[in-house]
Amino acid sequence: DLPGVFLAIILILVVGIAIDLLIFSPIERYVLRSRGLLVKS
């Protein structure tokens, strides 16, 4: 049952990265910008 375990681990990793990029990155950018910590390039 090892391939199933590896598949689950990879799936969780990919979903976690996707959630981080889609949800948390925009929120973090908004918070930094609203507090004046983000320098616009």
Q: Is the pLDDT of residue 40 over 70?
A: no
pLDDT digits (tens, 9 = 90+) for 15-28: 999 999 999 998 98
Q: Is the pLDDT of residue 39 over 80?
A: no
Which residue has better confidence, 39 or 5?
5
Instruction: For residue 21, give the DSSP letter.
Output: I
pTM for this entry: 0.59
Instruction: Classify burial at 9, counting beta carbons within 10 Å of its beta carbon; exposed 0-12, middle 13-18, buried 19 or more.
Output: exposed
Question: What are the sequence ranges of the domains in the chain?
Answer: 1-28
Residue corresponding to tokens 């929120």: 27
Q: Which of 40, 17, 13 is nearest to 29 (CA)?
A: 40
Q: What is the pLDDT of residue 37?
A: 81
Q: Is the pLDDT of residue 41 over 70?
A: no
Cα–Cα distance for residue pair 27/38, rounded to 1 Å? 13
